[in-house]
A and B are shown apart, each in its own frame.
Chain A
Amino acid sequence: MSDFRYVGHDTPRPDGGDKAAGKAHYIHDLERPGMLFGKIKFSEHAHARILSIDTSKAERLPGVKAVLTGYNTPQIRIGFLRDNFALKRDKVRQFRDEIAAVAAIDPDIAAEAVELIEVEYEPLPAVFDPIEALADGAPLVHDQDARGNPVTSNLVPMPCRHESGDLDAGARAAAFIAEGEYSTPLIQQACMGTAGCIAEFDTSNNLTIWAKTQIPFLAQRDYNRALKEMGLVGKNARVIVPAMGGGFGTGLDTHAYEYIAILLAHRTGQPVKIVYTRQEEFAYLSPRQSSRSKIRQGCDENGKLTFREVIVLQDNGAYVSWGATYPSVMLLPVTSLYKVDNVRFESTIAYTNNTYCQAMRGYGNPEVSWAIESNLDDLAAKAGIDPYELRLINCNEPGETTPMKLQVTTCGLRECLEKTADGLDWKNRRGNGKAKRRGVGMASLIHTGGGGRIYRSDASGMILKLDDFGNVNVFHGGVEMGQGLHSAIHLGLAEALGVKPEQIKINETDTATCPWDVGTHASRGAFMALKSAIIAANKAREKIFAMAEELFADIVAKSLAKYRKRYPDYEPPAFDVAAAARRDRFELCEGEVFIKDAPDEPWLKVELSQLLRAGHFRNQGTMLTVESFYDPPNELPDMKTGTGNISATYAYGTQGAEVEVDTETGEVQILKMVAAHDVGKVLNPQTLKGQIYGALAQGIGYALTEEVKTKNGRILNPGFTDYKIPTVHEMAFPIQLEIVETDDNEGPFGAKGVGEPGLVPTAPAIANAIFDAIGVRIHDLPITPEKILDALDALKQPTR
């Protein structure tokens, strides 16, 4: 049971009704008066020189308002390293490079116009493999950097390494060592609502952009820089975030299509909307990076880990996004999942002519956890130790400082492991399934749970504007993209302030009205929103109680008079209201202000709205608005040493799978999953479940089916027909959810972030169950039937 009035209680999310009724308005549904439709012409080569662009036919098409190329627009540099341009001149470096764009009065005309644009190319040698890209003599994707300095290699200049303890000594101390190479594929975030925006300028050349973004304030910074590059010095971009059809990391960067909409809107003087079709989303929006990890870890005779080494190579594609900061999060599991003293990590990111990549849920963590947790079971097998026991032996504990210098506050990993083992009936089912081809496996995770500092500020603010009707109007810069941020605010703020949840009215995220927030990523949304909500609520309560000190006695005197009129025989209890009406003696609960130790009389309770009106409608009246700003006690990691306490607290968890493998077809059937997660404290059970079930489904897709297939840089499966995300049938197995509450001191109401953890350990848990079932180790995601059959064949071959 929850100790709270609202927090911890199952509560319908505030946006659920509108969403179920089709009344939530996404970018696809929005229109502006006079709005035009933009469409982009993309490259037809992975690497080529642009010889000419002929837009004359497109320009002549009736209904076309503007045709832009890199040659008739200001150059806008974009991207994390500013190595990309909104519209390309001279050269294309990937199939999806934006060459030209059209604005027209309807989408069909815009599409037709794009078809009429003729581009002549001179194809250039290209490179599609990150290892080949780093070899001597490889074609260069970029020959100069954003500052114009010559570039001599395809190495993305963002190294990250970590070395702690003595790796060689750790290896010498190991009685058993397991090593292996693991890979993860390109995958699509596959938001149900595709990407899009509307850009509109006023005649002062200030921009308003309705964007599908998770980082409205960093986006504002990016767009403002673009306005400057367009010669619109001192002008401002206002970013508004409509309802979002999923984010999953796609909104952590600003995108070329947004700048193209901005350019088109500026050129035409009309609002311009660009929305991607599903095919465009698959082919032209950045997927999650592919990765290759080499891992080596060892343990002593007793199973204690003595060292771990992980070397990761990532295929960046043609341009650098925020996703290239993945290593800052990869460091967490590499250095800090289970106790291990001697650690080495090295990350290399290579430019190629493949589609450029961006972040996705988990942010590097699933990639390396796949290697670590799969390899840990190999180590257990070598050491002859039960994999569950091996994990318990090395389990993290509260109060630990890890090699990355993470300060572990609370840690429920041991309980997560135990609950997973119980849920799987581990002792009875482990290892005896070979005949039945059934097996069980588990894997764990650590992730940021208290913000994640990958920018110089990790802060978030909130403004509360209380009105005459007792509404608490909330302005917050975080983004509701389906995860339930607004549900958390709805309950948490009502709890902290002492009003009813229905009094909480959450406004659209808008850079013009909301305080700054770094972005909704790193599982930080609810944590940060509620930390700032608690600060704001406390400020509001102080002001309310100060106001009550002045006004309460008068209000209740009038209430008492009315009450006595209605009940003439009523004798009020002896209570000196004027003497008791001191700010430190007031309480606010469920929207009523009262004196804590006062008799329980109806006239001694004042509706918050009544008090606020009394404060407003007096001489020199006042209104009540408060603001807060919270920057968590965490550190920006030093990428040279791979250390830094990136989060104020850490989320832990373990997932377990029971699978049955058909050795004739290679099909893997999941019979059951257990998901045990240390969430600090449950905020709203149903939204928490939604986050974990939903992440787990993405983990299943990552494990078994999802892969963006490419050939020479071209995406071969740009649609749900050939890119398989789990349907309701793939999710038909029972999921046993085990919620571990560690009540974190830094967490709001004790809660930690939970947005990403649910997909981190899913794939290795399944792979470990497959290993238990049929004795084969799959190294490369996704685990397709072909890979299972190949591995079974290899098992049958006598080793040479």
Chain B
Amino acid sequence: MMRSQVSRWILNTLLPLAVMVAVVGLWQLTIVVFDIRKFIVPRPMEVFEALRSLRVELAAATARTALAAISGLAISTALGTFTAFAFAQSSLVRRAFYPYAILFQTVPVIAIAPLIILAFGRGFHSVTLVASVISVFPVVTNTTTGLLQIDNQLHELFRLHGASWWQTLWKLRLPSALPWMITGIRIASGVAVVGAIVGEFFVGSSQPGLGAWIQRKTASADLPALYATIIASTLLGVVVFAVLTWTGDFMLRRWFGTKLDGGSLQR
């Protein structure tokens, strides 16, 4: 049993690593075979060199973007949860606004970002706003679903004992919705990072995060630095998502005494 666990761990770690090595090898090979110029696709070594030499500046830019994304996520979590409560409480409000909550999710961030920046000006606050505007919807839809998906018999139990509106909310709806809410925030986290980077793309040097870097390095055709920035952006997204997933898992474990997948509560 121990052996199979170890070998599974080795497989799970080594296989993706092998794929990465293969992709980098293929990258290098393609450049050599087709004689691709440096200003079209940089060599892997050049990108690694850029990552190494720019690490301090890149880390600072990543931190700036991370702050904007996390601030945006915090706003969308608060706002999204509040909206979801309104939706869960009144079917009239839900009927009126819920279709738009779903519709707005499909509007591309790249189209909204310039409008927001035009209205609110350049700077950190606008980037945060872009991040929150596009990440609010996963929180709204998931939390609303969670608040409404209450086990019917549990609801009857609360009614049987004359539970007040407040008691039902606090002791039944809110804890039942928690796994859904966490799922919503997890999805929102990835979107918030994308939103922050796209926002920075438009505000330029007033918020010198990863988005501004991408824009600047594209303009100066500094391909190794551009590739390095893309890698940093990806890592930021992965780290934010992983931290939230881990925190959410930990909370649910503490809360329910067991790991839960998705929103399933009982049985």
- Is this pair of chains taken from one and the same complex? no
